Amino acid sequence: MLHHLTQPIAAAAPSRRTFLKLTAGAAGGLLLALRLPGQQALAAAGDSFAQPFVHIRADNTILVLSKHLDKGQGIATGLATLVAEELDAAWEQVSVEFAPANAELYKNLFFGMQGTGGSTAMANSFQQYRQAGATARAMLVSAAAKAWSVPAAEIKVSAGTLSHASGKTATFGEMAGAAAAEAIPQDVTLKTPDQWVYIGKSFPRVDTKAKTRGAAGAYGMDQRFDNMLVAVLARPPRFGSTVATVDDAAARALPGVVDVITVPSGVAVLATGTWAAMQGRDALTITWDDSAAEMRSTDAMEAELADLVAKPGLKAHGHGDAAAAMAKAARVIEADYQFPYLAHAPMEPLDITVLFDGSSATFWTGSQFQTIDQMVAGQVLGLTPDKVAINTLWAGGSFGRRAQPDSHYFVEAALIAKTRLAAGHAPQHIKVVWTREDDIRGGYYRPMMRHRVRAGLDANGNLLAWEHRIAGKSIMIGTAMEAFVVKNGIDETMVEGVSNTTYALPAFALEVHATKTPIPVLWWRSVGHTHTAYVMETMIDRLAKEAGQDPVAYRETLLKDDPRKLGVLKLAAEKAGWGAALPEGRYRGVAVHTSFNSHVAEIAEISFREDGTVKVEKVVCAVDCGIPVNPDAIRAQVEGAIGYGLGAILRNEITFTDGEVDQANFDTYQPLRMTDMPLIEVHIVASAEAPTGIGEPGTPPIGPAVANAIAAAKGEWAATLPLSRSGLA
């Protein structure tokens, strides 16, 4: 994801420069004074307190404005925790809403623009939101000191109440108006960890209650407005196809169908309701121009990659003279790995509502890159970004899908709205709905990838050399991000997890081949690590066996210079009882991987069903993500990340026949289900390091942990995913 713009803020100077450049280049036009509507309205009320991240209302409720999209990962609760902590608020008085699109106020400090991704939300907000809470608290205290004519230092704050030994007390709500008039302090002192009452204590989620009652109005899909039209599009059957001819007579004749509009991404049927729009779409007769389309089948695509990894590629990383070391090897272990295209398939398919009146536009959706969406939509509509408002809504999952460098679903909605207006229709809300088939067949996949690894060993099985080639479509090349993140032709998201491995490889050479295809590709929960961790961890397992060593012990030796990674490996091994005998028919596999600056080790225990398919019984996991702000949220993310990764490695793949996607819905792209879900134990390392990512790092190790468990049973490491291809799922 965008973590390659950023890298640990203090470290990598080049990456930091590129992200600053992105700020100036892409988002620079936005750094105008954009108004925060909520803030203005509240300020006018006179009895409330409104700062960009914290509003305190006269009724004693506190609103935290989340600059980040919450798509299930729980960041809304996380940010509320930070504010409540420093504010000394009572938990019950805190609620969360999403901040408006305003890059100046709400940028991701790692990206330089407003956006969520790369498991950066907590890491970039940890200081900022605590500061916001502490600032609000200081202003409340100073207002109370004035009102009561007592020294500020004598005022106590606890659970949303200000008090003084003299007996005076006030709720935050009662003091909000006065606090708003106080000067904003420039320096506030944050609590030390021993003073924390909320951080580290597993706060209940702010969104659970609503989500057990249908979450009225929370999601983009549920937006409803008077006189709204719903648009469903007939999308090209192949990537790169365009509309040649449309016969829409039958569609227009259907009840409820209002209009049919052709845009570059397909033919939109606009109707008074979703069902009518879907039926209208079915009634269209369209011929497509395939002259620029991807026409190949999966076999041919795989053959292309197999061909490429057999040839030298672009040098990406390495150290030592791998070729010379390889020449001295007594034995060479070689493996090719093939990974399929994967769809994100978030539970809520894409949707977006637009209202455009010619001089301004408003969107309602689970926007993940608000700044880019605002700019791109503005370009389409001929508006400056400040005339484009985005109401960010809770998203029913994303896993990367909503983080769009090309804002394609904003573009589509904007073009439809623009066409309607140009045809003389009055401005009206239009909701574009993607069906599940549109989602599964709609591209922006985790790219198909192939790896070739050659490990050279001496006569005793010791590692001498590691040669690695990776081929596939780059996520960054060909997008607006390319200029900022691709260096010398290398897209780090293709190689992360291999390029920065901390295994002590004596001599190492990494090469890449970036392929071209009209199939759009995108980051998918943990990005490059989705394939690199699998390759690294299954190869290491294989080398342990070649060396006649225990897989955990073998890793420990190679990881001696990476104490945190070593720490999770040891913790997981201890908790899983690694080395102890297993019941008949059970097998274990281990994997450990670092992504998004967090370290995760997973030990999978499997059995085989009568039909030979794998049942993952249990996963014991150890995670080090720095200070665990909300341990239960961390456990939830890791459980979910394991389930998400497991579903994919078991049976998910997007395949093509003559360029057409073979899968369409959950019957053919079969998601993980209740009966597939293992028992999961998550152990969190107590840490005083700054918080790092947790939305994604649980995903990479599950595939190789399961593959290594299968190898423990069968002696072979699956090199082609998903496992269903080899009858294992």
Partner 1 sequence: MATSLTLNGEARVIDADPQTPLLWILRDTLGLTGTKFGCGVAQCGACTVHLDGTPVRSCQTVLGDAEGASITTIEGIESPAAAAIRAAWTELDVPQCGYCQSGQIMAATALLTETPKPTDADIDAAMDGNVCRCATYARIRSAIHLAAEKMEG
Burial of 422 (0-12, 13-18, 19+ CB in 10 A): exposed
Q: Which is nearer to ligand FES, 225 or 666 (CB)?
A: 666
Q: How far is the CB of 616 from partner 1 (least distance, A)?
A: 12
Q: How far is the CB of 667 from ligand FES (least distance, A)?
A: 11
Token pair in block for residue 293: 């389309």
Q: Which long-range contacts (CB under 8 A, 24 or more apart) does 581-585 make?
A: none
Subset of 646-665 contacting partner 1 (CB under 8 A): 646-647, 665
Q: Is position 72 an interface residue for partner 1 (rule: CB under 8 A)?
A: yes
User: Given the rule CB under 8 A, which of 15-23, 55-63, 273-281, 450-458 is the region that contacts partner 1?
Assistant: 273-281
Q: Which is nearer to partner 1, 71 or 418 (CB)?
A: 71
Q: How many CB atoms lie within 10 A of CB 241?
A: 23
Three-state DSSP at 719 gives coil
Q: Which is nearer to partner 1, 552 or 649 (CB)?
A: 649
Q: Is position 631 an interface residue for partner 1 (rule: CB under 8 A)?
A: no
Q: Which is nearer to ligand FES, 73 or 526 (CB)?
A: 73
Q: Which is nearer to partner 1, 70 or 537 (CB)?
A: 70
Burial of 78 (0-12, 13-18, 19+ CB in 10 A): buried
Subset of 435-474 contacting partner 1 (CB under 8 A): 435-436
Rule CB under 8 A: choose which of 30, 283, 432, 680 binds partner 1. 680
Site map (CB under 8 A) of partner 1, residues 418-437, x = contact: ---------------x-xx-
Question: Tell me, what DSSP letter sits at residue 386?
Answer: G
Q: How far is the CB of 58 from partner 1 (least distance, A)?
A: 29
Positive or negative: CA dihedral 502, 505, 506, 508? negative
Q: 679 touches which of ligand FES, partner 1, none (CB within 5 to 8 A by kind)?
A: partner 1
Q: Which is nearer to partner 1, 141 or 270 (CB)?
A: 270
The residue whose two tokens read 């107590």 is 686
Q: 675 touches which of partner 1, ligand FES, none (CB within 5 to 8 A by kind)?
A: partner 1
Q: 395 touches which of ligand FES, partner 1, none (CB within 5 to 8 A by kind)?
A: partner 1
- Comparing every residue's Cβ against ligand FES, the nearest one is 347
Q: Which is nearer to ligand FES, 397 or 405 (CB)?
A: 397
Q: Which is nearer to partner 1, 143 or 229 (CB)?
A: 229
Q: How far is the CB of 27 from partner 1 (least distance, A)?
A: 27
Q: Which is nearer to partner 1, 194 or 611 (CB)?
A: 611
Burial of 216 (0-12, 13-18, 19+ CB in 10 A): exposed
Q: Which is nearer to partner 1, 209 or 560 (CB)?
A: 209
Q: Which of 37, 31, 109, 29 is nearest to 389 (CA)?
A: 37
Q: How far is the CB of 203 from partner 1 (least distance, A)?
A: 9
Q: Count, in order, helices (H) and strands (E) of the chain.
A: 22, 27
Burial of 406 (0-12, 13-18, 19+ CB in 10 A): middle
Q: How far is the CB of 13 from partner 1 (least distance, A)?
A: 36
User: Given the rule CB under 8 A, which of 84-92, 271-279, 479-487, 579-587 is the region that contacts partner 1?
Assistant: 271-279
Subset of 391-410 contacting partner 1 (CB under 8 A): 394-397, 399
Rule CB under 6 A: choose which of 41, 292, 314, 347 binds ligand FES. 347
Q: Is position 615 an interface residue for partner 1 (rule: CB under 8 A)?
A: no
Q: Which is nearer to ligand FES, 72 or 528 (CB)?
A: 72
Subset of 347-366 contacting partner 1 (CB under 8 A): 347-349
Q: Is position 72 an interface residue for ligand FES (rule: CB under 6 A)?
A: yes
Q: Is position 697 an interface residue for partner 1 (rule: CB under 8 A)?
A: no
**What one-character-per-residue DSSP string does 338-354 give?**
EE-BB----SS--EEEE
Q: 394 touches which of partner 1, ligand FES, none (CB within 5 to 8 A by kind)?
A: partner 1
Q: Is position 258 an interface residue for partner 1 (rule: CB under 8 A)?
A: no
Question: Cβ neighbours of residue 352 under 8 Å, at least 6 residues apart?
Answer: 220, 363, 364, 365, 409, 410, 413, 431, 432
Q: 248 touches which of ligand FES, partner 1, none (CB within 5 to 8 A by kind)?
A: none
Question: Tell me, what DSSP letter sits at residue 685?
Answer: -
Q: How far is the CB of 346 from ligand FES (least distance, A)?
A: 8
Contact in structure between 708 and 717 (CB atoms under 8 Å): yes
Q: Which long-range contacts (CB under 8 A, 24 or more apart) does 668-677 make?
A: 668/440, 669/343, 669/345, 669/440, 671/345, 671/647, 672/643, 672/644, 672/646, 672/647, 676/616, 676/646, 676/647, 676/650, 677/643
The residue whose two tokens read 């999308």 is 235
Please give the distance of CA 542 from its chain centroid, rounded to a whole number. 31
**Size, binding site for ligand FES by CB under 6 A:** 3
Single-letter amino acid code for the residue at 712? A
What share of residues in the chain are helix, strand, coil (percent, to 5)? 35, 25, 40
Three-state DSSP at 114 gives coil
Contact in structure between 362 and 389 (CB atoms under 8 Å): yes
Q: Is position 520 an interface residue for ligand FES (rule: CB under 6 A)?
A: no
Rule CB under 6 A: choose which of 280, 397, 678, 722 binds ligand FES. 397
Q: Is position 674 an interface residue for partner 1 (rule: CB under 8 A)?
A: yes
Site map (CB under 8 A) of partner 1, residues 219-238, x = contact: x-xx-x-----x--------
Q: Which is nearer to ligand FES, 543 or 634 (CB)?
A: 634
Q: What distance in Å separates the CA atoms of residue 102 and residue 106, rounded to the nearest whole number? A: 6
Q: How far is the CB of 71 from ligand FES (least distance, A)?
A: 9
Q: How far is the CB of 256 from ligand FES (least distance, A)?
A: 20
631-651 and 529-546 helices, crossing angle to 10°: 80
Residue 702 C-beta-side C-alpha neighbours within 13 Å: 32
**What one-character-per-residue DSSP string does 275-316 give?**
HHHHHHHHT-EEEEE-TTS----HHHHHHHHHHHHTS--EEE
Q: How far is the CB of 274 from partner 1 (least distance, A)?
A: 6
Question: Cβ neighbours of residue 34 under 8 Å, at least 6 residues apart?
Answer: 100, 101, 102, 103, 104, 105, 385, 386
Q: 331 touches which of partner 1, ligand FES, none (CB within 5 to 8 A by kind)?
A: none
Question: Cβ neighbours of residue 69 under 8 Å, at least 6 residues apart?
Answer: 75, 98, 116, 366, 367, 368, 392, 395, 398, 402
Three-state DSSP at 517 gives coil
Q: Is position 632 an interface residue for partner 1 (rule: CB under 8 A)?
A: yes
Residues that bind ligand FES (CB under 6 A): 72, 347, 397
Residues that bind partner 1 (CB under 8 A): 71-74, 204-205, 207-219, 221-222, 224, 230, 255, 273-275, 278, 345-349, 394-397, 399, 433, 435-436, 632, 636-637, 639-644, 646-647, 665-667, 671-675, 677-680
